[in-house]
Structures are given as C-alpha cells and as structure tokens.
C-alpha cells in the first residue's frame, strides 16, 4: 500500500529530492502560556505555523509563512509576520490542572485569551506553491482564505483545528464543532490532506472524508492512521518521554510534508511525522533539533527512496523504515534537561 495523493495531486517518487519544491504555511504566531497549580510554568512561542516552520527550516525545505501578530509580539522568528499595530498577538493559556477526567487521563484545557486579526485572501502571495498548509489555531483561517490557497497550491494540507475550533465568549475556552457545520465543508473536496487528532476526528465522518481527500488521524503514543478511498494504514509511533504535548501534532504535520517534499509515500512521510512529533513532546516550547540527528534522518530518507525505487516490496514494509530511523531519532538525547509537567501525578498525553 502506497497511499499516494489523488492523481492530480501526486508527488513524484524520484531517488533525489524534488527540486524547487515550495511550501506555503498559513497561520498566526501565538504566545503560549503554560499554567500549572495556578502558576505560570513557561511562556513560549506558539501557533502551529511556528512549530511547522521549525521542522521545515531544520530540514532545509523552502517555505514561506503568512502570519499576523500584534504590537506586543516578543519573539524573534525566521519568517517575519504581518504586524497589526492596533491589535494584540493571539494568546493561549494551557491549564494542566483542569483536565483530569473520570478515568484519570491528564490533558490540557486551552483558553484563547486574545486574538489577532484573521488572515485574508489579500494577505496570501500571488505565487504558485507545490504545497500549502492551512494551520490556524485561533480562528484566523477564513473559508475564502482556504479557497485562495487551493487555487495557488498544487496540494493543500489542512489541520482540522483550523476549521472546527470555536471559543467561549466568556472565558475563551476552546470548543469544537462538527466539520459539516464549520463553514469549510464545501471546499474540502479540493484539498489533498486533512489531519486530525483522535479527539478531533470525532467531529467528522472519516468514512465520508476519506473519499474526498487523504485523512490522517494522530493518536499520540499509538502513532497514526491513514485513510484514503479504500486504503487504510497504521503508522508506528516512536517512544518518547513526554514533557509537554503542545505542538506535537504540528510537528507531525511538518514532518509529513517534509516527507512528501522528499518524494516519500504517504505512510513513509507519516512515519517521519511521528518522529518529529515524538521529539517535540519531550520539550516545553519548540525543540531545537540536533544537527547530527537531522543528517542521519536525511541519510535514511535517501536510502529509503532508493530501496523503494529498486523494489516495490519495500514500499509496504514500514517496520524496516522505522527500524532504520530509530537510531537517528534517539541520537537526540537532551530531553532529560526539560522539566516534566505533571497533573496530579499524571504525565500529560498528546
């Protein structure tokens, strides 16, 4: 099973990186505030776009980012945002005290406490891109903005959180609506990929959506599952010592697109996504990827492509690729330096 995108959106499978692949990332930068036991644990650069661009930049994949921030934005970033002087930067507070359910599962409670302006179609460059990534977190992606993206990008990957998040008008608590009620459903037959967490997937009909695009559902320590037409595949996770789940799904999506840019099949690219996601959960804020690890991963990706071109049987053997990537993954060993977030004795699950 190769699970390639639809014919009109396929990525070639050459033994070398496809030259001049350009990626457009659309989503606002944020200030993330992590709160535990009533105290601020950390204040970090947030927003899916920041985590994704970190993965792409670290992997030497050319990308352009469209993001809006307010006058109070306080982080240095590689990709300069659009500054809206009269607005404040989008801020999310993540509470690690409030998410213990009846079976003792620990999770975050997210609240959006301020929001910058949405990203308009006029903010999107009038250029052509090989891949587009609609990755809003605070309601900044509009239907007309996504329509502009599908017009200028060969393949568009969408994180469902950009479509189905709504925010309590009183305290800003993040809630989810059904995908069919989001205002985006009429566009989704034109996208290439839809990524959702296992919790978010409950707000869509996977059986219906997999007929429209390739659906990728992440499930933390269980890895991810891919659905497209009549094909399904489970992609193995990498072990991780979890510190903070923030940005793990974003890094997964960044790794997936890096794999697609490299010409990998979708399951192989998703395995690369699992690798980057597993590293991210071991850090508070954005991880700084080890250069040796990145080089070893790149070497294994090139070997994988050569194998798949020589023998089609390798395309179906994800375990072999996982075994080859694992030594590279665990050459990144600085996670023990990160403080661990605990909620009533429980570690936080992605």
Determine the longest span between alpha carbons in the chain, in angstroms.
59
**CA dihedral of 182, 184, 188, 194, whole degrees rounded to 10:** -60
Sequence-distant (6+) residues with CB within 8 A of 297 are: 272, 275, 325, 328, 329
- Cβ–Cβ < 8 Å for 65, 48: no
CA distance 236 to 274: 8
Look-up of token digits 């996601």: 277
Any catalytic annotation for residue 159? Answer: no
Cα–chain center distance at 137: 11
The residue from 107, 130, 154, 250 that is catalytic is 250
Q: How far is CA 270 from CA 107, 116, 170, in A?
A: 24, 31, 38
**CA dihedral of 161, 164, 169, 174, whole degrees rounded to 10:** -40
User: Which residues belong to the active site?
Assistant: 250
């Amino acid at each position: 099973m190769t699970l390639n995108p639809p014919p009109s959106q396929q990525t070639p499978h050459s033994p070398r990186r496809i030259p001049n692949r350009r990626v457009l990332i659309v989503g606002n930068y944020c200030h993330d505030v992590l709160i535990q036991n009533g105290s601020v644990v950390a204040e970090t650069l947030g927003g899916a776009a920041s985590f994704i661009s970190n993965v792409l930049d670290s992997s030497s994949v050319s990308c352009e980012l469209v993001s809006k921030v307010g006058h109070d934005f306080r982080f240095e970033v590689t990709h300069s945002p659009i500054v809206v002087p009269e607005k404040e930067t989008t801020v999310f507070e993540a509470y690690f005290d409030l998410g213990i359910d009846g079976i003792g599962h620990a999770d975050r409670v997210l609240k959006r406490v301020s929001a910058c302006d949405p990203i308009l179609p006029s903010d999107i460059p009038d250029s052509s891109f090989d891949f587009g990534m609609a990755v809003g977190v605070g309601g900044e992606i509009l239907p007309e903005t996504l329509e502009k993206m599908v017009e200028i990008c060969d393949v568009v990957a969408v994180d469902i959180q950009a479509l189905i998040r709504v925010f309590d008008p009183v305290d800003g608590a993040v809630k989810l609506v059904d995908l069919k009620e989001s205002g985006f459903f009429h566009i989704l037959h034109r996208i290439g990929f839809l990524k959702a967490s296992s919790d978010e997937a409950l707000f869509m009909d996977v059986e219906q959506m997999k007929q429209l695009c390739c659906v990728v559902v992440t499930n933390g320590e269980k890895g991810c599952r891919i659905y497209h037409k009549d094909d399904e595949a489970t992609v193995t996770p990498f072990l991780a010592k979890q510190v903070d789940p923030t940005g793990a799904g974003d890094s997964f999506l960044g790794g997936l697109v890096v794999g697609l840019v490299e010409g990998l099949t979708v399951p192989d690219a998703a395995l690369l996504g699992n690798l980057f996601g597993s590293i991210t959960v071991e850090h508070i804020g954005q991880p700084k990827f080890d250069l040796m690890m990145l080089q070893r991963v790149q070497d294994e990706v090139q070997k994988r492509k050569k194998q798949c071109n020589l023998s089609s049987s390798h395309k179906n053997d994800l375990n072999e690729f996982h075994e080859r990537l694992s030594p590279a993954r665990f050459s990144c060993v600085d996670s023990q330096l990160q403080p661990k977030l605990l909620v009533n004795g429980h570690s936080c699950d992605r």
